[in-house]
Amino acid sequence: MASSEVLTTTGYIKHHLQNLTFGQHPDGAWGIAHSAAEAKAMGFWAVHLDTMFWSVLLGALFIWVFRRAAVRASVGTPSGLLNFVEWIVEFVDDNVRSSFSHKNDLVAPLALTLFVWVLLMNTMDLVPVDWLPEIAKLMGIEYMKVVPTTDPNATFGMALGVFVLTLFYSIKVKGIGGFAAELTMQPFQAKNPILKVLFLPANFFLEFVSLISKPVSLSLRLFGNLFAGEMIFILIALLFSGGAVLAIAGGVLQWAWAVFHILIVLLQAFIFMTLTIVYLEMAHSHH
């Protein structure tokens, strides 16, 4: 962080909202961006290294913990870690059974992966905003955002993955003709062939907008809620530099917001999982 940024509230906020970005500089050289302007100049193909690091690390943690529990599974009464993992698996399985009425062995594992992975990424928002960035700063890393779901690149990436699966199963189950008919034969319907043709553009426009809105809403809902939560934590952290009274008030507010934010962390992971199941249910259903 530049010394001029340290002394200002605006600089502090901008620093905490800046990703560690790797990409191509305007002069053609590849490297790390040292300011928001440099990151912006790198364009679309820039990579947010902190988002990639924490999302991959938390994904690996999820795999390791659940594999360890699976290896220890036995016919006896579960306890400790195994009991906790079984509870999560049963919770996800119940939601899949209640929302997905077709046969597809991919849906339950996908729902479990998305729920736990998004939950772990969201939970990073409960870590005090200065701890990990300051540790990274001591290691020579200028920027460090530790909540991957506050990066729209991460949320859009997951949403696009779900969207691709939705398109794949829509075509696989209904065929190209059936999927095309689904986009052009509803909501306006008519028995008259001429009216059917006239309704095609309007139907396609409405259904196409509805189709595209699924990944957009899925990603922006998760991003918006977690980004707002992170911003509030950053604003509360500013109180600690305003003297003893404001520091005490900041500590109380930080604790209160963290307790409330636990609900948001859990709820957004659950919503992301549930909407994924619903979208795949719609892709398997004939209209």
| CA 183 – CA 208 distance, rounded (Å) | 7
For residue 187, say if its preceding peptide bond is cis, omega within 30 degrees of 0: yes
> For residues 179 and 171, is the Cβ–Cβ distance under 8 A?
yes
Give yes or no: 217 in active site.
yes
Choosing from 55, 95, 122, 225, the catalytic residue is 225
Give yes or no: 72 in active site.
no
> For residues 254 and 129, is the Cβ–Cβ distance under 8 A?
no
Spatial CA neighbour of 52 closest among 153, 143, 136, 129: 153
Torsion angle (degrees, nearest 10) of CA 41, 47, 49, 52: 150
| Count of C-beta atoms within a 10 Å radius of residue 187 | 10
Pairing verdict, β 21-24 and 30-32 = antiparallel
Spatial CA neighbour of 264 closest among 228, 237, 236, 214: 228
Residues 6+ apart with CB under 8 A from 266: 119, 122
Choosing from 98, 217, 241, 285, the catalytic residue is 217
Give yes or no: 221 in active site.
yes
Choosing from 99, 104, 153, 221, the catalytic residue is 221
Position 77: which residue type? T
* SS3 (DSSP) at 79: coil
Paired residues of 95 in beta bridges? none
- Give the active site residues: 217, 221, 225
